[in-house]
Amino acid sequence: MKAGSKLEKILTSGQFAVTGELGPPRGADVEVIKKKAEHLRGMVDSINVTDNQTSVVRMCSMAVCKLLLEMGLEPNLQMTCRDRNRIAIQSDLLGAYALGIKNVLCLSGDHNKFGDHPQAKNVFDIDSIQLIQTVKQMRDDGKLLSGQECEGVPKFFIGAAANPFGDPFDFRPIRLAKKVEAGVDFIQTQCIYNMEKFREYMKRVVDMGLAEKCYILAGITPLKSLGMARYMAKFVPGLDVPDYYLKRLAGVEKKKQAEEGIKIAIEQIQEVREIEGVAGIHLMAIEWEHKVPEIIKAAGLYPRPEVN
């Protein structure tokens, strides 16, 4: 065991993992977090806590992770390079581990231009792959980037993101290989809608032997409505929503679109389970946490395995 987190135990024991996601509030309200988290209890093995996603100021990921720990839930700390230099990153990692956080997801971060503070100065001292290296060095060598030995070594299970649909497509498996080389343990992919393209991506990834070197969790985001599907298709760069789903959602009356979206998500989960190299799913039910139990149960992923 590298970190001994629940997520690590489930993945290393060969069981299909399920991770969820929780977006912290744009304020200091703890109740919101508790409410969202309760929907996920028993449904997912680990909960990603986003780090000011889309560059919108939200409660800090580490604090929310600690709140989840207090609730007896396992958090996965998302950490971006957008707002911190290497000093802050290492400091935060040490602090996170001291609080009991064992999973960390290494991200470059959405550009601040998208968020609520486009005037901000961004950092990007290091990038996501270099962040993986940093966490690994701290864990495996017990050393900070300066070479300073850690007094108390942070043992993280190291995650990263992958977008199979970003361009250039041919480079995507190579980029994943770089993350593996940097020392990643698990990967959570961008929301998958174009299943055909994802299959092609996974085929290449498996052929390169990458699926044996890290656990790949397929990203699933249920479409709440035709409007959301259209928005994802049009305005989220590097996200591929085929017309097929738009037509399917347009084909049902508005009241039933949510139901249809859930149906699609369940089908997608079944499909990705069949794909070689997929070790689990990462269910990102954006502001729809209360639907997670329904999806997980319908997908036959409930109850979740117990580990010690």
Partner 1 sequence: MVVAERKPIKEILAMMAEYKKILLVGCKGCVTVCCAGGTKEVGILASALRIAKKKEGKEFEVIERTLERQCDPEYIEQVASIVENDGIEAILSMACSVGPQYLAKRFNVPVYPALNTTFIGGALEHGVWAEFCQACGNCVIHHFGGICPVSRCSKSLFNGPCGGSAGGKCEINPEVDCAWHLIYERMKALGKLDDMAKVFPIKDWSTSRDGGPRKVVREDMKL
Per the omega criterion (within 30 degrees of 0), is the bond before 168 cis?
Answer: yes
Minimum distance of partner 1 from residue 113's CB (angstroms): 5
Tell me the C-alpha distance between 19 and 296, whole Å.
11
305: tokens are: 């395995």
C-beta of 210 vs 226, nearer to partner 1: 210
Q: Which of 29, 140 has the CB closer to partner 1?
A: 140
Find the shortest distance in angstroms from Cβ 128 to partner 1: 8
195 vs 233, beta carbon nearer partner 1: 233
Nearest residue (CB) to partner 1, 24 versus 109: 109
How many residues are there in the chain? 308
Nearer to partner 1, 71 or 233 (CB): 233
Separation between Cα atoms, residue 246 and residue 237, nearest integer Å:
17
Please measure the distance between the N-terminal and C-terminal CA atoms of the chain and give it in whole angstroms: 12
Residue type, 16: F
CB 217 within 8 A of CB 281: yes
Site residues (vs partner 1, CB under 8 A):
81-82, 86, 108-111, 113-114, 122, 124-130, 133-134, 145, 161-163, 166-168, 171, 174-175, 177-178, 181-182, 190, 237-238
CA distance 255 to 234: 23
Rounded to a whole number of angstroms, the minimum distance from the CB of residue 111 to partner 1 is 5
Closest separation in Å from C-beta 243 to partner 1: 17
Q: How far is the CB of 50 from partner 1 (least distance, A)?
A: 15
- 145's CB contacts (< 8 A; 6+ apart) are 86, 90, 134, 137
- In the complex, least distance from residue 178 CB atom to partner 1, rounded to whole angstroms: 5
Closest to partner 1 by CB, 111 vs 143, is 111
Nearest approach, Cβ of residue 229 and partner 1 (Å): 17
Q: How far is the CB of 81 from partner 1 (least distance, A)?
A: 8
